[in-house]
Amino acid sequence: MLRVRCLRGGSRGAEAAHLIGAMLGRALTGWVPRALQSSSSSAASAVAQSHRAVEDDAVTEPARQECPVCAYNEWDPLEEVIVGRAENARVPPFTVEVKANTYEKHWPFYQKYGGQTFPKEHLKKAVAEIEEMCNILRLEGVTVQRPELVDWSFEYKTPDFNSTGMYAAMPRDILLVVGNEIIEAPMAWRSRFFEYRAYRPLIKEYFRKGAKWTTAPKPTMADELYDQEYPIRTVEDRHKLAAQGKFVTTEHEPCFDAADFIRAGRDLFVQRSQVTNYMGIEWMRRHLAPDYKVHIISFKDPNPMHIDATFNIIGPGLVLSNPDRPCRQVEMFEKAGWNVVKPPTPLIPDDHPLWMSSKWLSMNVLMLDPGRVMVDANEHTIHKMFENLGIKTVKVNIRHANSLGGGFHCWTTDVRRRGTLQSYFN
């Protein structure tokens, strides 16, 4: 095998090897009867001819292209990003896992609109805001990719459940880039079971160009994955359950959303949440070892779901930590020399609909590089905070898009950042 590859490699290498053998065989045939005759000239001629045949047959290996996928952290200079779509977005059916992730004041909305489109005028404004966000990213020098348009109204049925779809608005929830690898998260909501389909054309193209592509084990999302009697009603109920480590998702099978992980070079931080269980975390830990370490952290949060509006790492040793949801392991970061910054209280009005998130989307920012950040145009106090940190703000208004459950970090997945793998946490 190695001899063949040294000659050329593949089937043409085998032909070259056969040619050399045949020519040498003919040169040596009759050697004994002609033992007294000089054969050096004929042998040399045969070898020279065979060498020329191999050289003429040689084919140069194709030049290796630079992998289009590479990101190690949340702040290196951003070169390419996937931005989600609000088009065709639908309210998820009001199932137990959705109920556990939403507050009681919004339950009538889900009971009325579950399985239907979001209010059309609101959705139209969200679409326009995200288009403008894409335009601004392009002006800032970032290549923007978008998922496919999908009809999420289609009802599907598996052996374990039936549902309609939701959207492809938040690529951060489903795709995690670690180095040159794209990891598809399994998700935990039944309405998001087939969400990956909107991203597959993009992922296949990245794979063809050299990226690694991993799909985490897809859960069945059978009834056993959810605590069907999950006792929630008040915020106090939620605090008590979260403090006890009880969530709507069980340990029946691995599940996780990619947005419960956040990267800092060789270290990733993750929370156990309503959509990410310990089996899912352990799968990621084993998958990324030994090159990366996965650290579990927790917060005083009555309804943990996605880490980036609670603990958002924005630079080497620099993290935004939600003062309403303090990190229980904050001393670990302070001892490592990190600057833990508490962002100001959000300014979003109480009457603005946030059906799927909290006001703390104000800290759900997207770093364009260590000195530039994409931030809500209306959040003047956080602009001042970034100015004090020496970071320039790129202001964009996506208030209607916020209502669908995410800020700038949620609405994006960074595909390529210009940087190298380093350690920032000891």
Instruction: Name the residues annotated as catalytic.
Output: 257, 306, 410
Residues 226, 253 contacting (CB under 8 angstroms): no
Q: Edge-to-edge, what's the strand order for the sheet holding 339-341?
A: 311-315, 318-321, 339-341
List, in sequence order, every residue forming a beta bridge with 312; answer none if it has no partner.
Answer: 320
List, in sequence order, every residue forming a beta bridge with 423; answer none if it has no partner.
Answer: 265
- The b-or-e profile of 4-23 (16+ CB within 10 A means b, else e) is beebbeeeebebbbebbeeb
Query: What whole-number distance in Å separates Cα of residue 324 and Cα of residue 233?
Result: 20
Residue 305: CB atoms within 10 Å: 26
Report which residue type is found at 126.
Answer: A
Cis peptide bond N-terminal to 108, omega within 30: no
Query: What whole-number distance in Å separates Cα of residue 256 and Cα of residue 235?
Result: 23
Query: What whole-number distance in Å separates Cα of residue 115 and Cα of residue 90?
Result: 6
Q: What's the alpha-carbon Rg for the chain, to the nearest Å?
A: 28
Report residue 272 as tokens. 């156990």
Report residue 102 as tokens. 């939403």
Helices 40-57 and 10-28: angle between axes, nearest 10 degrees? 170
Residue of 239, 342, 341, 343 lying closest to 300 (CA atoms): 239
Please calculate the CA angle 248-252-254 and round it to the nearest 5 degrees: 90
CA dist 253 → 36, 162, 284, 344 (Å): 80, 19, 13, 38
Report residue 119 as tokens. 């209010």
